[in-house]
Amino acid sequence: MKIKQSQNQHNMHSAYMHFERTQWAKLRDDVELTLSEDNLKQLQGINESLSIDEVIDIYLPLSRLLSLYVKAQQYRHTVRDKFLNSKNDNVPYIIGIAGSVAVGKSTTARILQALLSRWSEHPKVALVTTDGFLRSNQDLVARNLMHKKGFPESFDIKALVDFVAAIKSGEEHVSAPIYSHLTYDILPDQSISVEKPDIVILEGLNVLQTATNYPDHPYRVFVSDFVDFSIFVDADTPLLKQWYIQRFLKFREGAFTDPKAYFHSYSKMDKKEAMAIADKIWDEINGINLEENIRPTRDRANLILKKALNHQVSSVKLRK
């Protein structure tokens, strides 16, 4: 099936092919939806209403594309084995998902995990968030970095790179730390184990970052060096700020009410006061991190999902 590119793609020097939502939806190519409404409710983010249409129009074509990419890599491994006259285990295919705080990376990751795991060629799909590689609060306080949580320097980048490298080397069991959004810290003595899946979805603020994000450190290898296909979930800054404040208010009514919650005190504020706090956190931390460290990595992605109102994807850019 041939799809005409958007008229906006008249610039032949662009690295991307641009598809409006309706154009992209046609690339589904009769792939059946294997998720029910109950499945979707389990997958949606805390402030997103994920519709069946969104999955059909956006994520089914994307899962089809990714499945084709994975199949192509598996074929390349067959060619390699034929050349070497030996049989080697296929290494996991790594999909990186980057984007701002509150843009919906986690929801995108969970939907793709659910859809891709239903393809017969690669049933085992692991999902890992890079939040687990944030330094502990104790470490951040010692380094005077609590006010920069989520910035490149707040992550243990060596541990993260070692983790992804171990997956790509084909190790049987690779462990990753677990981050709790309730306690706002790494959970001590807890980890998840990744055991040779067909696909690993790696979701986080920093999966596309390079040496420019770590000018004071002598790193030479980065997470992005191990990613086979990368997705950047994008939206205009005013929308991102709005979604962040909405999410903060929902946390205030939900998770923050738990006495063990790091931000428990915020649950006792009135709505106006809580909105002012969320606004301040965005302007002084998340908004700055977005402009300085996250959005500059967008054009390194293989695919960009641009969101509009209500978290609906309005257009898709696919690298040529």
Query: Residue 192 belongs to a domain with what CATH number?
Result: 3.40.50.300
Q: 6 falls in which pLDDT band (50, 70, 90)? A: very low
Tokens (6 digits) for 142: 């010692």
Identify each DSSP E strand in 65-159 by its residue range.
93-99, 125-129
Q: For 89-131, how does the pLDDT look when each residue is reduced to its tens digit (9 = 90+)?
A: 778 999 999 999 999 999 999 999 988 988 877 679 999 999 9
In a domain, 219, yes or no: yes
pTM for the model: 0.91
Q: What percent of the chain has pLDDT over 90?
A: 63
Residue 199 included in any domain: yes
pLDDT digits (tens, 9 = 90+) for 180-199: 988 999 999 899 999 989 99
pLDDT of residue 162: 95
Rounded-to-integer distance, Cα 185 and Cα 142, Å: 14
pLDDT of residue 101: 96
Which bin fits 226, alpha (ψ -120 to 50), beta or left (φ > 0)?
A: alpha
pLDDT digits (tens, 9 = 90+) for 142-184: 999 999 999 999 999 999 999 999 999 989 999 999 999 889 9
Q: 180, exposed or middle or buried, with CB in 10 Å at 0-12, 13-18, 19+?
A: middle
Q: How far is CA 238 from CA 48, 80, 104, 108, 289, in A?
A: 17, 48, 15, 20, 15
Number of structural domains found in the chain:
1
What confidence score (pLDDT) does residue 7 get? 46
For residue 254, the model assigns a pLDDT of 82
Q: Is residue 1 part of a domain?
A: no
CA-based end-to-end distance of the chain: 17
What is the arithmetic mean of pLDDT over 64-81? 90
**Residues of the domain holding 161:** 15-319
Write down the pLDDT at residue 56. Answer: 87
Per residue in 268-298, pLDDT (tens digit) is 889 999 999 999 999 999 999 999 999 999 9
Q: Is 205 left (phi over 0), alpha (psi -120 to 50) or beta?
A: alpha
Q: Are 206 and 158 in contact (CB under 8 A)?
A: no
- Cα–Cα distance for residue pair 164/161, rounded to 1 Å: 5
Residue 4 confidence (pLDDT) above 80: no
Instruction: Supply the mean pLDDT for the chain.
Output: 89
Query: In sequence order, what are the beta bridge partners of 186?
Result: 179
- The yes-or-no verdict on residue 134 having pLDDT over 90 is yes
305 has which bridge partners? Answer: 233, 316
CA-to-CA dists, residue 187 to 159, 222, 252, angstroms: 16, 24, 22
Exposure letters 259-270 (e unless 16+ CB within 10 A, then b): eebbbeebbeee
Q: How confident is the model at residue 9 (pLDDT cuts 50, 70, 90)?
A: very low
Q: Is the pLDDT of residue 54 over 70?
A: yes
Whole-angstrom distance, CA of residue 231 vs CA of residue 45: 18
Name the most confidently modeled range: 11-25, 121-135, 222-236.
222-236
Q: Give residue 48's pLDDT.
A: 62
In a domain, 151, yes or no: yes
Is there a domain that residue 2 lies in? no
**Given its phi and psi angles, is residue 43 left (phi above 0), alpha (psi -120 to 50 degrees) or beta?**
alpha
Within a domain: 3: no
